[in-house]
Structure 1
Amino acid sequence: MAKRQQEKSLQTMNELMASAVHLFGSQGFAQTSVAEITDHAGYAKGSFYRHWNSKDELFLAIVRSKLKGYRSTRDGRMAKAANLEETMNVIWDFLATIVEDKNWSSILLEFTVYSASNEGLRQHMNQSVYRLSNEVFADMVREHVETDYPPEKIGALNTALFEGYLIHAALGTEILSFEDVRENAIAMALKNGTKQG
C-alpha cells in the first residue's frame, strides 16, 4: 500500500513538473501561477503544496532534474576523453543539448535573472547542482591542462561564453551562432591550456 502511494505521489510530482515546464516555456516563469500549473496538470493546489512550498522550489527541483539528465549523458563520454580538445568537445556537446531544448534554455535564463535579485535563490543557483558551474568545468579540464593556466579560468570562460550566448539568442541577436561560440571557446582553451596552443 505504501509503495503504491509513493508511486502515485511521484507521478503527481512528475505531472506537475511537466505542466510547469510547458507553461514556463509558453508564457514565462514570472507570468505562470501555481493555480495555472495545477489546473493544467489536472490537480488541486493542495497537491502542489504537498511537494513544494513555492513556485521557486518547484523550479529548483526542475533544474536539478533537467541538469541531472543532461549530465548523465555527458559524464559517460567525459571518462573517455583523452586530452583537452576531446574534453572541451564533450563539454560543448553537453551545452548544445541545452540549447537544442529551446524552451528550457530560455526558461533557465529567465529564472537565473529572476534569482539574481533574491539572496536565497541566488545562493541556490550558485550551487553546481543548479547551474553550469565554473568549478565543475574546471574539474573536467584540470587533468588535461598542460600549462600553468588556471583550469578555473577555462571553466569560468566556458560558463560566461555559454550564458552570454543564451542572452544573445534570447534577445534575437543572431550575429554569433552557437557554433561560433563553441569554436572560439575550444580554441581559447587549447591556446591557453596546451603547450602547442
Structure 2
Amino acid sequence: MSDRLLNTDAAATMTELSEEELLSKAKDFGGPALSELYDRYETKIFTYIYRRTGEQALAEDLTAQVFLKMLEAIRKGNAWQTSFSGWLYRIAHNIVIDYYRRRERQSHVSIDEAPTLTATEHNPVQTAEMNMDVEQLQSAIQRLTDEQGQVVSLRFLDGYSIAEVAEMLDKTEGAIKALQYRAVASLRQILLIEQQ
C-alpha cells in the first residue's frame, strides 16, 4: 500500500516539473520522467501522424514506434541536442516517411507540375475545412510533398509559429516561409481540382 502511495506521489511530482527538469531526469532513464514525457507528447504525436496517414490504427502503431525510438535513442545517448519537441517530431516524420517508402504508396503533387497560383491572405486550410470534411482535407494534405505537408500540419493544424516550426524541422525561418508559400499554392490547386 505504501509503495502505491509513493508511486502516486512520484507521478504528481513529475507533472509539476518544468519540461527542462523533466528532460534532465529522462536522460537518466528515469521511469516516471519518461512516463510523463509520453503523457505530454503522445496525443500531439498521434495527431501529427494521423494527419499524415489518415488511418487511426496505423497512426497508433507508428506513434508507438516513435516512443520506442525515443527510448532507444535515450538509452544509447543519442538523444536531442536542442529542442526535445523538434527532435520528437523529426522522429515521427522519419517514421511516417519510412512507412510510405516501405509500402511504395507515396503520392504527391510536384510544385514544378502544378500551375502557379498566387497565395491569398486567408488561411486556405481553414477555408477548406469549412467547405469540405476532414477526410478530404487530409487527403489533399497527403498529396503535398512530405516537407510541405509537414509545414501545413504544424503551422495551420497544430498552430505552431514559423519560428517553432523552423526549430522543429531544423531549418531557417526563411526556408519555412518558402515551404509554406509553396504548400499553400499547391494545396489551393489540389482543392480547386477536387472541387471541379
TM-score normalized with structure 2 length: 0.35
TM-score (norm 1): 0.35
